Each structure stands twice: as C-alpha cells, then as structure tokens.
A = this chain, B = another copy of it.
Amino acid sequence: MTGAQYWTEKNQIAKRRTLDNNTDQTVLDIINQIKQSGDAAIRQLTKELDDVLLPKFQVTKEEFKDAYKQVSPAFLRALTKAKNNIQQFHAKQMQQSWFTNSHSGILLGQKITPLEKVGIYVPGGKAAYPSTVLMNVIPAKIAGVESIHIATPPQANGKVNPHILVAAKEAGVDSIYKIGGAQAIAAFAYGTETVPKVQKITGPGNAFVASAKKCVYGDVAIDMIAGPSEICIVADESAPAPYIAADLLSQAEHDEAAKPICITADRTLAAAIQLEVEKQTELLSRKHIIKQALKQNGRIILVKHLNEAFTIVNDLAPEHVQLMIKEPMENLRYVNNAGAIFIGNYSPEALGDYLAGPNHTLPTNGTAAFSSPLGVYDFVKKSSIIHYDKTALLETADEIIELAMTEKLTAHAESINLRKDGRNAKSYN
C-alpha cells in the first residue's frame, strides 16, 4: 500500500484499547474490598482469582535462599551484566537540587527529594519477567527511595518464580508480596495490615491492573497506564530482511494486540520481509500469539519516499522505533514521538528490552507523543524554594498588590501591605 492509502486505514491501526465498563466495575469492587477488609480481602481474592490460599503474602528469607539454588550461573551472569548496564545509564539521569542568587536578597531554587516508599507490580502467572524487576527497581534505588516493594501474583504452588526473586534480591528490593491484579494495586495505594501504603506504583500488568492504576491515580502516583505496545521499523535496502522480520516477530510475540509495523520505500525489501516473517513465525514457540498480532495489526507500509515514513512514525508515536537505514543518525532529528529509538542493523528491540541500559518501561499505545520512558526522575519530586529579604519584597510590593487586587484576592494583597506599612492598609468590605 502507498503512503496515501495508509492514511485511510490509520485509524484502524492506531485504534486504542480503552478500558471497558465491566473491567472498571470489577476493579472498583476489588478496591473497595481491600480498603474495607485489608489482608482478609486479599486472602479471599487470591483464593478466588489465583486459586491459592495463602496464610502469609510476604516472601520469606528461606524462599529467597531457595530461589538462588534454582537459577543457573548463566542466568546470574546475564542478570548482573544487565544490572550494571542499567545502573550506569540511569545514574546519568540523577538530577541535583539547585538554586540561584542572581539578585541580592533573593534566593530561588528547586529541591529534589526522593520518594519515600514505592510499590512495583511484576506480572506473573505462566511467564516470569526478571527484566521488569531490574527496570523498575534500579531507577528507584538510584533516586534514593527508602523502601521498595514488589507485588506479583503467586504461582499455582503458592510460590514466586525464582528468577523474579533473585532479580529482586540483586536489585535491592525490601519486600515481595504474593498478590496479583487489582488487589495488589489497591493494597499498595491504601495499605493493609501487612502491605505498606506507598507513594507511587509502577510496573506493567493486564487490563485489571491498568484499570486499577487509573482508579487509584491521584491518591497515589502511578507511572503510566500500559497498553498494547508497538514497533515501527523504518528500513531501506541496506537492512537485511531476516533481521527486520525477526524484530517484528519479537514485538508480535508479546501480545495479540501488539503492533509490528515496518515502513519502507523499497518494494523488493517489503516482499522479502513478508516471506521472512512467514518462514520465521513457524519456528517460534509463541506462533499462535504472533499470528494473531500479525493478522490484527501487522503492517508493511510502502511509501514513495522515505521522508513520508517519519510522518507516519510521529503520527503513531510508537513505543519502539528502529532506524534500519543507511544514515540513521542523520535522520534522528525527524523522530519526534517514540519511546525508544534503536539505531542501525545491530540494535534490535531485544537489546533494549534486556541489556543496553535504557529503561524498557516505555510509553505504549501512542502515548509516546506525550510521555517518557521510566527513569530516575519518576522516583523523585521537586519543591520550589523562595526567599526574598525585606528590601527585595518591598521593591516589588506594589506589583504583587496590583495583581492580587486584579484577582480580587484582598487577603493576598493585605499580606503584602502589612509588610510594607507595618499595619493593615484598609478595610476591603
């Protein structure tokens, strides 16, 4: 299809998964149960939804110890490598408090303070995602968060996957609770007898987790509402079709709603990618998910000139953009809306998902137009600092009073008048 044709079906590709009313109502019910009955409600819901009866939710020291026996040395080496890279990258995001004193008697600034307590949701069930643990815990740790807690659904045997436990221990988590879904989000937002109330909840999850995060937003901070994720590969004849196909498939295997998209001006390449996608899919363990994703949202978009590609990229605002073109760095300036930009033929999405260092928690579902990757900045808050001495205040007193009176806020005006004249100026009745 050409660029022009693409636009007619843009809405179809970019269609957002919005939360449905049934999910929201179920989630509201769960949140109210947790608020009212705390741990008892968690226990009941875990029995109902995860089919496990847990006397205690918190992972014990023994369970951590056991976990280390169950993971391979190769896993631990790879985890350590990833941890080091993630730490190095995120350390550069650390912001400093600052102040200016450019006028005598005036000091202005911004104080950076870490959040005190953070809760991280780590999806569980059939698969385990130790990379999610590292990507959420490490920036919080670097920010200086005092205590970091994880909630993750228990497996059928009442345990947590050992790779998650080891990743959490290595990253420096304070405690892990075997709680899944909306009940975990509610527990972190409002606290229970055993689960601490936190100031911010981060981490991915299914539709129930997403809905719960939106519900508690405002009472507690959240990172984002995660939706289906996208890859958009901009390619020319310098890119090997097998690589492009493999990267599209690595996106597709995440989720039936994932959007694996390639944009090229090269018709021959497009055809080769199509063939490679079909061939490689058959070799993969998650081919049923992949086929669904390809069918629903998989696209190879043929444009006339490659510069059209950037218009499409910016319009989709995808989670991942790969520039597999002759001069990728020259074209970086045209990408405005993307969670992460992968440059060249040897920087596949999988590199960023696990190991390069930048965060893999990226804005999904088109929100890269206005959101950023998770970072150290998500685990601190800022406070303004304002100091004027008497001379500085009196010099500008009349202007403050003028603005306050324009807004009919006489008490504001009076707080300045008093300091100027040492008495109340007048009655405003």
Contact B369 A428 (CB under 8 A): no
Nearest neighbor of A98 in chain B, beta-carbon distance: B92
Q: Which residue on chain B has the smallest CB distance to residue A383?
A: B338
Q: Are A414 and B246 in contact (CB under 8 A)?
A: yes
Contact residues of A between 129 and 151, Cβ < 8 Å to B? 129-131
B375 touching A370 by the CB < 8 A rule? no
Whole-angstrom distance from the CB of A321 to the nearest CB of chain B?
8
Residues of B within 8 Å of A412, CB to CB, are 250, 253, 349-350, 353-354
Distance from A163 Cβ to chain B, minimum over Cβ atoms (Å):
5
| Interface contact B404-A384, CB-CB below 8 Å | no
Candidates B18, B283, B338; contact of A424 at CB < 8 Å: B283
| Contact A357–B108 (Cβ < 8 Å) | yes
Interchain CA distance A312-B404 in the complex, whole Å: 30
Q: How far is the CB of A138 from chain B (nearest CB, A)?
A: 14
Instruction: Decide if B221 touches A371 in the complex (CB within 8 Å).
Output: yes
Give the Cβ gap from A369 to chain B, nearest Cβ, in Å: 5
Q: Contacts A383-B339, A387-B342, A392-B346; is A351 near B416 (CB within 8 Å)?
A: yes
Decide if A175 is an interface residue (CB 8 Å cutoff).
Answer: no
Are B410 and A253 touching (Cβ within 8 A)? yes
Indicate whether A75 reaches chain B with its CB closer than 8 angstroms.
Answer: yes
- CB contacts (< 8 Å) of A203 on chain B: these are none
Q: Are B246 and A415 in contact (CB under 8 A)?
A: yes
Q: Does A220 have its Cβ within 8 Å of any Cβ on chain B?
A: yes
Report whether A78 and B402 are in contact in the complex, using a CB–CB cutoff of 8 Å: yes
State whether the Cβ of A426 lies closer than 8 Å to any Cβ in chain B. Answer: yes
Give Cα A396–Cα B357 distance, bound, in whole angstroms. 12
Q: Is the CB of B408 within 8 A of A285?
A: yes
Per-position contact with B for A384-409: 1 when CB-CB < 8 Å, else 0? Answer: 11111110111010111011101111
Judge whether B416 and A348 touch: CB under 8 Å. Answer: yes
> Is residue A77 within 8 Å, beta carbon to beta carbon, of the partner chain?
yes
A384 touches B373 (CB 8 A): yes
Q: Is A225 an interface residue (CB 8 A)?
A: yes
Closest to A249 in B: B411
Shortest distance from the beta carbon of A149 to any chain B beta carbon, whole Å: 15
- 14 pairs across A/B with beta carbons < 8 Å? A78-B402, A88-B102, A111-B332, A115-B369, A280-B424, A285-B428, A290-B411, A335-B383, A337-B381, A346-B388, A347-B388, A351-B393, A353-B412, A375-B382
